[in-house]
A and B are shown apart, each in its own frame.
Chain A
Amino acid sequence: MLGIVFALPRVPRGKPVFPPMNPLIAATRRDLLLALRRKSEVLTTVFFFVIVVSLFPLGIGPEPVLLKKIAPGVLWVAALLATLLGLPRLFAADHLDGTLEQMALSPQPLGLLVSGKILAHWLSCGLPLVLLAPLLGLQFDLEASALGVLTVALLLGTPLLSLIGAIGAALTLGVRGGGVLLALLVLPLYIPALIFGAGAVEAHIAGLDVGGHLSLLAAMLALATFFAPWATTAALRIALE
């Protein structure tokens, strides 16, 4: 997906730089470019994830059996917290410089622009966690097949976290103590994703079928893809009033 960003068409001067583009892709591309310029923010999220996961063996002890048992839960909880870290920035900068207001007034549907921003948030904050999780899973002595299930579950679950989190980010936009409040609002709503995501890996380790867990995660993702951008848009319009 990152290829889109670099595949900017090279056009001669004087002509429109961008051909007419789907507003969703345009919004995604813009936010990804911004994220690339501020790499430290993405890296902070990633290192936060690594540090939180590494703290658990230090707090609990190096027993491989115990660590293997808690690995799915630890990795998932750390992923929830790491996603949370990037959420306050999702709309804040655009809100401050007035871009968000322009988006709301533009003829393009705000829902599509918001979806693009959420997609960009997932690509910059969620996808790196998914790619890094198998590596961290090795620290917890997970087998290759369990690492595979963990990656698939996170691949389905982290977009869900970005989608639900966007609603909270929009609701707390410009509000006193926004960051902490955001965590309070969003974390309870993350529980189903946590249960099925970590549950899939646990079930696999226990030798059970993981199809049920993964299809429920996929169903929740499908539901959130339809409703979350809509709720986020409504919340943004309230914040912009």
Chain B
Amino acid sequence: MTHSLIHWFRFASPQSFYPLAGKLVPWFWALAALTGAAGLYIGFFVAPTDAQQGEGYRIIFVHVPASWMSMFIYLVMAFWAGLGLVLNTRLSGMMAQALAPTGALMAALSLWTGALWGKPMWGAWWVWDARLTSELILFFLYIGFIALQAAIDDPRRADKAGAVLALVGVVNIPIIYFSVKWWNTLHQGSTINLNKAPSMATTMLWGMLLMALCFWMYSIAVALMRARAIILERERHTEWVKHALD
């Protein structure tokens, strides 16, 4: 038990994580390409036309995965941030920093596709729907995290301050979500629920799950690449980096 734990901690040092991430990245790209191709095939050629929303519902195959990933990445980011605060490992903060831009991108994609879905279904580009509003606030939280880290020059302080912010955010997200939901029902918002397409066929569900898997693998691949860049930037004066270039 302790032996395998030590084995895992070995990868917690940037020096051994850098080559490991380099080896893993192509595999995650391959997985993302495979699941993406399968998901798109099912999404466009197997899944039937929706009875109510016609072909417009096919936006679900990117909207839902982007929304899921935007929320999931924030949780993972907060997990790494918390781990960094507790164990004081250098790598944790770098991982949190590497994840944030991808999470913000996913939130932005979720908003963009949500608007493009809302226009034909609700007749408006933007509706103050509980989910869209929460997603917008999540996007703000990502921007705040990135801005705070960018404003602090000392990387160790940036990591720790970002960690506190991410943890505060994670405690607040459920409160924000429920308050927005309550606000929405009080103000008699839209009754169409984007994420529950009526009578969702099994093939639709499969297409959505495959696309979600694709977005997941993509996020891991990009975050690992970014983590590699951050490791080199921060450890540029160490001896091992000089040998890692070859």
Query: For B175, what are the chain A residues with a Cβ–Cβ distance below 8 Å?
Result: 192, 220
Query: For A5, what are the chain B residues with a Cβ–Cβ distance below 8 Å?
Result: none
Of the residues B85, B157, B168, contact of A241 by C-beta under 8 Å: B157
Complex contact B141–A227 (CB within 8 A): no
Complex contact B144–A188 (CB within 8 A): yes
- Segment with Cβ contacts to B, from A49-57, A118-126, A143-151, A176-184: A176-184
CA distance A12 to B17 in the complex (A): 67
B133-161 with Cβ < 8 A to chain A: 137, 140-141, 143-144, 147-148, 151-153, 156-157, 160-161
User: Looking across the interface, which residue of chain B has its beta carbon closest to that of A208?
Assistant: B186
A219 to chain B, nearest CB (A): 10
Query: For A178, what are the chain B residues with a Cβ–Cβ distance below 8 Å?
Result: 151
With contacts A172-B148, A238-B164 known, is A184 near B180, CB below 8 A?
A: no
Q: How many residues of A contact B (CB 8 A)?
A: 28
Complex contact B179–A231 (CB within 8 A): no
Complex contact A185–B148 (CB within 8 A): yes
A235 within 8 A of B: yes
Query: For A34, what are the chain B residues with a Cβ–Cβ distance below 8 Å?
Result: none
Complex contact A196–B151 (CB within 8 A): no
A196-232 with Cβ < 8 A to chain B: 196, 199, 203, 216, 220, 227, 231
B115 within 8 A of A: no
CA distance A217 to B214 in the complex (A): 41
Complex contact B161–A238 (CB within 8 A): yes
In this complex, the interface size class of chain B, counting residues with CB under 8 Å from chain A, is 20 to 34
CA distance A138 to B161 in the complex (A): 43
The proximity string for A residues 147-181 relative to B, scoring 1 for CB distances below 8 Å and 0 otherwise, is 00000000000000000000100011001111001
Complex contact B183–A195 (CB within 8 A): yes
CA distance A172 to B186 in the complex (A): 36
A163 to chain B, nearest CB (A): 11
CA distance A216 to B176 in the complex (A): 12
A157 to chain B, nearest CB (A): 12
User: Looking across the interface, which residue of chain A has its beta carbon closest to that of B154?
Assistant: A241
A36 within 8 A of B: no
With contacts A181-B147, A184-B143, A191-B179 known, is A167 near B160, CB below 8 A?
A: no
Complex contact A227–B183 (CB within 8 A): no
- 28 examples of A-B residue contacts, CB within 8 angstroms: A167-B168, A171-B165, A175-B148, A176-B151, A176-B153, A177-B151, A181-B144, A181-B148, A181-B151, A184-B143, A184-B144, A184-B147, A185-B165, A188-B137, A188-B176, A189-B176, A191-B137, A192-B175, A195-B180, A195-B183, A196-B179, A199-B182, A199-B183, A234-B85, A238-B164, A239-B157, A239-B161, A241-B160
The 6 closest A-B pairs by CB, nearest first: A192-B179, A188-B140, A238-B160, A185-B144, A195-B183, A195-B179
